[in-house]
Amino acid sequence: MPFTFIVSKALRFVLTLAFLVFGAIAASPARADAVDDALAGFTTDKYDDTDKAIQGVILSGAAMGGAIFDALGAGRLVFDPQSKTVLYKDASGALKLAKTGEPAPAELAGKPLKTVRLNNRLRRAVEAASGAFELRSPDRAKRIGAAKAIFKTREPTALPSIEAALAAESDPKVKEILTQARAAIVVGKADAPEADRAAAAATVAAVGDADALAALTNLPADSPPAVSAAAAAGVAAIERWQSVANVVQNLVYGLSLGSVLLLAAIGLAITFGVMGVINMAHGEMVMIGAYATFLTQAFIADHVPALNHASLVIAIPVAFLVAGGVGVLIERTVIRFLYGRPLETLLATWGVSLILQQLVRTLFGPSNREVSTPEWLQGSVEILGVSLTWNRIAIILFALAVFAALQLLLRRTSLGLQVRAVTQNRRMAGSMGIRTARVDALTFGLGSGVAGIAGVALSQIDNVSPNLGQSYIIDSFLVVVFGGVGNLYGTLVGAMSIGVANKLLEPWAGAVLGKIVLLVAIILFIQKRPRGLFALKGRAVEA
């Protein structure tokens, strides 16, 4: 099967090239009946027929080939089941006839059109077919994409079209990638001159990523010594670089995990760390924040779709207010009667957490809700071989921003001053005229609101379900206790060190064992230093 697959893939490339070279030179008008025959294959809704249709379109030399494959790959190729007309929607959504590219007649537009279905095999065929077209696309990004795809597949039959494209190319960046793609093919080409292949090996090695490594390690066994030597040197260099990049990557992943922990824990650092309330319902505040995000997004999508891309940003204050409000409510109705009685607080907040979970389950149903990711947070960026997803980068920055804002609030505002005063010495603060009950409620609301903000961020990487909070509550307590109760900087350092340690352990211990090892290490650490990394000093602690 793989052999026949390669053959069919190769054949398809040859066909594409044949069309590109001869079709273009002769500028022969596409044989109309051949195009019709080929297009008919798209209308039977069978994978094998679609496959034949793809090859048919290439063979027939239809002028619309590029547009057809473009639309097919993007799921925009449609047909009318009755008249068997094949149409495509262009990028702007306008309906056009596949055969000619003319706008579709009005009577077709209103009909229930069916999309041509693809499976993975066909998707690869479309990619291969459109690759050759795209090497000559006027769109620079498309040319780069096509050249990169060829670098990855190292398809020998693509060599002539690469060389043709190289000769015609003027953009230096595209030229560079085309040269690399050419090198990736040449280095494994048995009939190329030895010097060329050795030089190609060096070019490929300079790319230095995983695809380059694959190109160099999969050379035919009978390659001449000069080529093998150049390849081996390249492999060694790439592997050396990759082992460094691996460590960097794990560190960055660790920071990213740490920032998620920081976000989840920072609200608890206030309710538990500063106020001393063992708040088992903290996770549910995060969950409420995530659901607030879901509702905000749904509302904006329904009423002001123009703001869709900004809905996450708008959800931040909404989540803060909703979760904060619920927090104030819980403090006023439950927790204020239990100050100084940690065991009762623990049980009461545990009960509150179960009530909130079941309430959300009843209101929204037990299944996950979809919070969509705006376009600017999708995808990833590759920096020096370390691939980072945008949403993780955003979460790292967001966590640090929330941390800084909270620090400012506690250090630089009068509310912050009052909070610190009340938590350090309640009676003294009361005697100075601070309304301690109000400060308690606001502090608890602040902690809950920050947890709600964490929910906005977590809705991007985790399930929005009634169970969301449960998976973070233990980690949050761990971070706060490890970092040192009552110290926000301790929470920051604690979260980041747990994150990094977790990610450094994971590659060799596995996710399950890594977590156990880490837990044991933290328990031992707390045995040694019961007050955590940054212990508060002074009389407040003893009180």
Q: Is 5 among the residues that bind other proteins (CB under 8 A)?
A: yes
* Choices 24-32, 51-59, 253-261, 520-528 (CB under 8 A): range interacting with other proteins: 253-261
- x-marked contacts with other proteins along 256-285 as a string, rule CB under 8 A: xx--x-------------------------
Antiparallel, parallel or unpaired: β 380-383 and 86-89: unpaired
Q: Give the nearer residue to other proteins in terms of CB position, either 45 or 171.
A: 45
Query: In whole angstroms, how close is the CB of 445 to other proteins at the nearest point?
Result: 27
Query: In whole angstroms, how close is the CB of 286 to other proteins at the nearest point?
Result: 12
* Structural contact between residues 275 and 488, judged by C-beta atoms closer than 8 angstroms: no
Q: Is 390 among the residues that bind other proteins (CB under 8 A)?
A: yes
Query: In whole angstroms, how close is the CB of 358 to other proteins at the nearest point?
Result: 6
Q: Give the nearer residue to other proteins in terms of CB position, either 45 or 163.
A: 45
* Structural contact between residues 469 and 353, judged by C-beta atoms closer than 8 angstroms: yes
Instruction: Figure out which of the listed residues 28, 358, 413, 431 binds other proteins, where binding follows CB under 8 A.
Output: 358
Q: Give the nearer residue to other proteins in terms of CB position, either 510 or 530.
A: 510
Question: Alpha carbon of 217 to those of 66, 150, 156, 211, 528: distances in Å?
Answer: 34, 17, 16, 10, 50
Q: Give the nearer residue to other proteins in terms of CB position, either 299 or 390.
A: 390
Q: Is 28 among the residues that bind other proteins (CB under 8 A)?
A: no
Phi first, then psi, for residue 328 (nearest 5°) are: -60, -40
Q: Half-sphere exposure (CA, 13 Å, Cβ side) for 299?
A: 11
Query: In whole angstroms, how close is the CB of 380 to other proteins at the nearest point?
Result: 5
* Choices 33-41, 121-129, 396-404, 418-426 (CB under 8 A): range interacting with other proteins: 121-129
* Choices 61-69, 173-181, 335-343, 367-375 (CB under 8 A): range interacting with other proteins: 367-375
With tokens 């893939």, the residue in question is 9
* Structural contact between residues 349 and 334, judged by C-beta atoms closer than 8 angstroms: yes
* Choices 95-103, 162-170, 284-292, 375-383 (CB under 8 A): range interacting with other proteins: 375-383
DSSP label at 439?
A: H
Q: Is 357 among the residues that bind other proteins (CB under 8 A)?
A: yes
Instruction: Figure out which of the listed residues 180, 249, 259, 443 binds other proteins, where binding follows CB under 8 A.
Output: 249
Residue 384 corresponds to which tokens in the numbers above? 């020096």
Distance, CA of 127 to CA of 504 (rounded, Å) = 37
Distance, CA of 308 to CA of 24 (rounded, Å) = 44
Q: Is 376 among the residues that bind other proteins (CB under 8 A)?
A: no
Phi first, then psi, for residue 50 (nearest 5°) are: -60, -40
- x-marked contacts with other proteins along 451-480 as a string, rule CB under 8 A: ---------xxxxxxxx--xx---------
Segment 176 to 215, residues that bind other proteins, using CB under 8 A:
210-211, 213-215
**How many chain residues touch other proteins (CB under 8 A)?**
63
Query: In whole angstroms, how close is the CB of 121 to other proteins at the nearest point?
Result: 7
Closest CA to 279 of 205, 191, 342, 210: 342
Segment 476 to 535, residues that bind other proteins, using CB under 8 A:
502-503, 506-507, 510-512, 515
Instruction: Figure out which of the listed residues 378, 411, 412, 413 binds other proteins, where binding follows CB under 8 A.
Output: 378
Query: In whole angstroms, how close is the CB of 350 to other proteins at the nearest point?
Result: 14
Query: In whole angstroms, how close is the CB of 535 to other proteins at the nearest point?
Result: 29
Phi first, then psi, for residue 382 (nearest 5°) are: -110, 115
Question: Alpha carbon of 248 to those of 175, 245, 511, 523: distances in Å?
Answer: 30, 5, 19, 28
Q: Is 389 among the residues that bind other proteins (CB under 8 A)?
A: yes
Phi first, then psi, for residue 247 (nearest 5°) are: -65, -45
Q: Is 369 among the residues that bind other proteins (CB under 8 A)?
A: yes
With tokens 């940003």, the residue in question is 313
Distance, CA of 169 to CA of 75 (rounded, Å) = 30
* Structural contact between residues 17 and 162, judged by C-beta atoms closer than 8 angstroms: no
Give the DSSP letter string of 165-206.
HHHH---HHHHHHHHHHHHHHHTT-TTS-HHHHHHHHHHHHH
Question: Alpha carbon of 256 to those of 253, 291, 327, 464, 499: distances in Å?
Answer: 5, 23, 27, 20, 7
Is 413 exposed, middle or buried, given 0-12, 13-18 or 19+ CB atoms closer than 10 A? exposed
The residue type found at 381 is V
Q: Give the nearer residue to other proteins in terms of CB position, either 82 or 367.
A: 367
Q: Give the nearer residue to other proteins in terms of CB position, either 439 or 473.
A: 473
Q: Give the nearer residue to other proteins in terms of CB position, either 77 or 410.
A: 77
Distance, CA of 241 to CA of 58 (rounded, Å) = 42
Instruction: Figure out which of the listed residues 28, 82, 218, 333 binds other proteins, where binding follows CB under 8 A.
Output: 218
Closest CA to 41 of 60, 31, 55: 55
Q: Give the nearer residue to other proteins in terms of CB position, either 331 or 475.
A: 475
Distance, CA of 38 to CA of 128 (rounded, Å) = 18
Instruction: Figure out which of the listed residues 50, 130, 391, 443 binds other proteins, where binding follows CB under 8 A.
Output: 391
Closest CA to 275 of 399, 446, 409, 403: 446
Q: Give the nearer residue to other proteins in terms of CB position, either 99 or 197.
A: 197
Q: Is 117 among the residues that bind other proteins (CB under 8 A)?
A: yes
Question: Cα–chain-centroid distance for residue 243?
Answer: 24
Kind plus residue range of the DSSP H or E element containing 97: strand 95-97
- x-marked contacts with other proteins along 410-429 as a string, rule CB under 8 A: --------------------
Distance, CA of 356 to CA of 363 (rounded, Å) = 10
Q: Is 365 among the residues that bind other proteins (CB under 8 A)?
A: yes
Segment 74 to 103, residues that bind other proteins, using CB under 8 A:
75
Q: Give the nearer residue to other proteins in terms of CB position, either 23 or 499.
A: 499
Residues making contact with other proteins (CB under 8 A): 1-2, 5, 47, 75, 117-121, 123-124, 127, 210-211, 213-215, 217-218, 249-250, 253, 256-257, 260, 357-358, 361, 365-370, 372-373, 378-380, 387, 389-392, 460-467, 470-471, 502-503, 506-507, 510-512, 515
